[in-house]
């Protein structure tokens, strides 16, 4: 039990004894730096249960706590704030508890399972910068939910069918001359993506020719022979034409191999995969059931709708008049299928950009109306776009930044800045190369994850690799500095430290460490890796202040020296743990 939990019961006990009234909750906050104290009880909310002067209520409570709680040695009241001074022994005991926990801050997995969906790419092009934010967010939220005690399944739904896939296939068939990833030396997703671009180029030429011949642009877009051929190819695929299906399987396999390399380099993984080619017909049977139960209604033309006007939305189409499904139908069916596949799922998180906010609002409402209990536990992890400063990293097409190119660029940026600073003397070329990747990727991930997911990001590769300020490399560098201290500490520092007075910087560091379990729970509840990232930055700032104000290995008192090494060691443990939740590695040397 942490200090705050112990205090809460004592404050409630005191309030009842003094005022003969039960107090349901106690509000705490950190004591302001300009007042003496370690933790502050906020008195103002208590006025709902006991009328009176807040300063006098604080004074009465303070006297009670000093008299009845061994570990509170003094107090002061500033207006409606009761500042309590806690005995150093309490902090030493709390720190020993932190030190002896193998996985401090984590809760053992429960039976409460959640599925987190992220990435969900199309198989007609490589992953791009938008996918990078999506993958980093989804992966990190999944890891944070696991740490908070949830059982987690990571998944993606791969958009492997449709007209866009047929465009790549058709362009390869017409222009490819049998080219393969092996013969071209290109990753499979890059190769297929190139043919998608080639289709677009040829399609635009055909439109131009038709317009020059007197056709309107709108008609030309519909009548271009290449588009008509792609539409026919889609019909053949849906009819199961063996030649078309074989080509589809071959080209998708190339893409999956390419994706696998990108995912590995990005450091994300999945427990299970869903494919749109398997799920696009799901949901129709649910619509029939929904019509019977009154959740859906049929219009005169035979189309089926859900009326959400009472919820402040509009009517939503779920089945066209010709009986074909829309995306909403498919998403309804896929959600239900996932719970059939994993019966312990009690909720789902969808990591999808904010342009789909309305879609998910509707999806969740419909699933609730259909009576699924797990539908109350659905969350759209909505995020904003990532922009780059003008002129940075334009890809070959000039519009989209390729994820692989971005990772190479980050590694090169880390290399340039590290060389400027002269930080890596004595490293072999292989060690340097690995470290550039760790620093570059850490910088990218931290820069993206430290921002609230809903906010749009302007991502500057060079600014992200700064070794000062709220950046990944700054935190990695602090971790490496601590490892250097630990390598020099050649004595035994494993014993529990008791009976000493704490330096203010030691106490502040212990307080910051104590916040880690609570931060994990808050990050899980809010689906926000930013809370973990910014907690870690605050911890590192606190450690650096401690490092600058007290001597660690130069301390003459052996007991104090042991405690300071232990503090450094446990700060490093939490940095490593929190960065793992963000998918970031920490180097032992830098």
Alpha-carbon gap, residue 334 to 338, rounded angstroms: 6
CA distances (Å), origin 363, targets 298, 318, 331 = 18, 10, 7
Q: Say if 300 falls within a structural domain.
A: no
Residue 354: CB atoms within 10 Å: 16
Query: Are 455 and 573 members of one domain?
Result: yes
Q: What is the CA radius of gyration of the chain?
A: 30
pTM, whole model, 2 decimals? 0.92
Q: Are residues 174 and 80 in the same domain?
A: no
Residue 2's pLDDT is 66
Decide if 36 is inside a domain: yes
pLDDT tens figures, 39-56: 999 999 999 999 999 999
The CATH number covering residue 22 comes to 3.30.1360.70
Percent of the chain having pLDDT more than 90?
A: 89
Q: What per-residue confidence (pLDDT) applies to 6?
A: 80
Q: Is the pLDDT of residue 464 over 80?
A: yes
**Mean pLDDT, residues 9-21:** 95
- CB distance 225 to 206 below 8 Å: yes
Closest Cα partner for 442 from 575, 302, 297, 299? Answer: 575
302, 358, 366: which is closest to 329 by C-alpha? Answer: 366
Q: What is the CATH number of the domain that holds 428?
A: 1.10.730.10
Give yes or no for residue 63 having a pLDDT over 80. yes
Is the Cβ–Cβ distance between 581 and 140 less than 8 Å? Answer: yes
Please report the DSSP string for 81-133 in residue order.
EEEEEEPHHHHHHHHHHHHT-TTTT-----S-EEEEE----BTTS--BHHHHH
- Alpha carbon distance 476, 446 (integer Å): 11
- Residue 394's pLDDT band, with cuts at 50, 70 and 90, is very low
- CA 468 to chain centroid, in Å, comes to 23
Q: Answer yes or no: is pLDDT of 3 > 90.
A: no
211, 81: one domain: no
Q: Do the domain assignments include residue 314?
A: no
Looking at the structure, do residues 81 and 170 belong to the same domain, yes or no?
A: no
| Inside any domain, residue 431 | yes
Q: Provide the CB-side half-sphere exposure for 71 (13 A, CA).
A: 17
> In this structure, is residue 201 part of a structural domain?
yes
pLDDT tens string 217-250: 999 999 999 999 999 999 999 999 999 999 999 9
Which tens digit of pLDDT belongs to each residue from 530-564? 999 999 999 999 999 999 999 999 999 999 999 99
List 380's β-bridge partners, or say none: 350
Mean pLDDT over residues 60-75, rounded? 95
Q: Using the 3D structure, point to which of 224, 243, 267 is the last residue of a domain.
A: 267
The crossing angle, in degrees rounded to 10, of helices 88-99 and 558-581 is: 50
Could you give the 3-state DSSP secondary structure of residue 315? strand
Spatial distance between the Cα atoms of 412 and 424, rounded to a whole number of angstroms: 14
Does the pLDDT of residue 30 top 90, yes or no?
no
The stretch 379-401 carries a mean pLDDT of 72
* Confidence bin at 396 (pLDDT 50/70/90): very low
* Residue 453 and residue 539 share a domain: yes
**Do 420 and 514 fall into the same domain?**
yes
pLDDT of 397 > 90? The answer is no
Kindly state the average pLDDT of the residues 185-189. 97
pLDDT at 395: 43
CB 16 within 8 A of CB 23: yes
pLDDT on residue 393? 46
Domain that holds residue 171: 162-267
CA dist 269 → 70, 253, 259, 264, 407 (Å): 50, 18, 11, 7, 17
Q: Are residues 183 and 70 in the same domain?
A: no
What does the alpha-carbon distance between residue 86 and residue 71 come to, in Å, rounded to a whole number? 6
Q: Domain for residue 502, yes or no? A: yes
Q: Is residue 295 situated within a structural domain?
A: no
Q: How many domains does the chain have?
A: 3
Would you place residue 5 in the very low, low, confident or very high pLDDT band (cuts 50, 70, 90)? confident
Considering the domain boundaries, does residue 348 fall inside one? no
Same domain, 419 and 521: yes
Same domain, 541 and 412: yes
Give yes or no: residues 49 and 186 share one domain: no
Residue range 396-413: mean pLDDT, rounded? 82
Query: 267, 291, 319 — which closes off a domain?
Result: 267
Domain boundary among 267, 291, 323: 267
442 plus 551 within the same structural domain: yes
Q: Are residues 79 and 167 in the same domain?
A: no
Report whether 156 contacts 273 (CB < 8 A). yes
User: Is 60 exceeded by the pLDDT of residue 391?
Assistant: no
487-541 per-position pLDDT tens digit: 999 999 999 999 999 999 999 999 999 999 999 999 999 999 999 999 999 999 9
Asked if 86 contacts 502 with a C-beta cutoff of 8 angstroms, the reply is: no
Q: pLDDT averaged over the chain?
A: 94
In this prediction, residue 1 carries a pLDDT of 55
Q: What is the pLDDT, as a whole number, of residue 426?
A: 77
């Amino acid at each position: 039990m942490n200090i705050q939990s112990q205090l809460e019961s004592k404050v409630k006990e005191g309030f009842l004894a003094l005022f003969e009234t039960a107090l349901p909750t106690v509000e705490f906050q950190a004591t302001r730096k300009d007042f003496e104290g370690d933790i502050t009880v906020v008195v103002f909310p208590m006025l709902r249960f006991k009328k009176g002067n807040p300063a006098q209520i604080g004074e009465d409570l303070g006297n009670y706590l000093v008299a009845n709680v061994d570990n509170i040695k003094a107090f002061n009241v500033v207006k409606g704030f009761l500042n309590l001074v806690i005995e150093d022994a309490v902090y030493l005991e709390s720190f020993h508890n932190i030190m002896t926990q193998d996985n401090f801050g984590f809760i053992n997995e429960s039976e409460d399972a959640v599925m987190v969906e992220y990435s969900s790419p199309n198989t007609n092009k490589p992953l791009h910068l938008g996918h990078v934010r999506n993958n980093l967010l989804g992966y990190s939220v999944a890891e944070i939910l696991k740490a908070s005690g949830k059982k987690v399944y990571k998944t993606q739904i791969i958009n492997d069918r449709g007209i866009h896939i047929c465009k790549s296939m058709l362009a390869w068939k017409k222009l490819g001359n049998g080219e393969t990833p092996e013969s071209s030396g290109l990753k499979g997703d890059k190769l297929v993506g190139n043919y998608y671009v080639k289709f677009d180029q040829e399609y635009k030429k055909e439109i131009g020719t038709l317009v020059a011949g007197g056709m309107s642009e709108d008609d030309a877009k519909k009548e271009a022979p290449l588009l008509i051929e792609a539409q026919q190819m889609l019909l053949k695929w849906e009819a199961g034409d063996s030649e078309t299906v074989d080509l589809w399987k071959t080209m998708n396999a190339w893409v999956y191999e390419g994706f696998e390399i990108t995912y590995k380099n990005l450091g994300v993984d999945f427990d299970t995969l869903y494919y749109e080619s398997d799920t696009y017909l799901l949901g129709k049977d649910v619509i029939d059931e929904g019509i019977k139960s009154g959740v859906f209604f049929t219009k005169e033309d035979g189309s089926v709708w859900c009326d959400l006007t009472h919820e402040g939305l509009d009517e939503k189409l779920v089945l066209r008049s010709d009986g074909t499904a829309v995306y909403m139908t498919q998403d309804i069916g896929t959600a239900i299928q996932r719970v059939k596949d994993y019966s312990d799922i009690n909720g789902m998180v969808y990591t999808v950009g904010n342009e789909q906010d309305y879609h998910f609002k509707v999806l969740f409402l419909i699933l609730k109306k259909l009576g699924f209990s797990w539908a109350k536990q659905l969350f759209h992890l909505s995020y904003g776009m990532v922009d780059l400063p003008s002129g940075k990293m334009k890809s070959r097409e000039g519009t989209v930044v390729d994820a692989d190119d971005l990772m190479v660029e980050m590694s090169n940026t880390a290399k340039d800045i590290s060389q400027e600073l002269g930080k890596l003397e004595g490293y072999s070329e292989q060690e340097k190369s690995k470290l550039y990747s760790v620093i570059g990727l850490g910088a990218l991930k931290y820069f993206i994850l430290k921002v609230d997911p809903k906010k749009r990001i302007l991502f500057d590769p060079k600014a992200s690799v700064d070794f000062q300020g709220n950046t990944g490399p700054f935190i990695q560098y602090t971790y490496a500095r601590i490892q250097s201290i630990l390598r020099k500490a050649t004595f035994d520092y494993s014993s529990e430290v008791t009976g000493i007075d704490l330096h203010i910087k030691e106490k502040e560091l212990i307080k910051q460490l104590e916040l880690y379990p609570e931060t994990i729970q808050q990050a899980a509840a809010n689906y926000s890796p930013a809370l973990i990232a910014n907690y870690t930055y605050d911890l590192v700032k606190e450690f650096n202040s401690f490092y600058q104000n007290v001597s660690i290995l130069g301390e003459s008192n052996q007991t104090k020296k042991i405690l300071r090494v232990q503090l450094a060691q446990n700060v490093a443990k939490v940095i490593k743990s929190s960065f793992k939740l963000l998918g970031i590695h920490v180097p032992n040397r830098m």
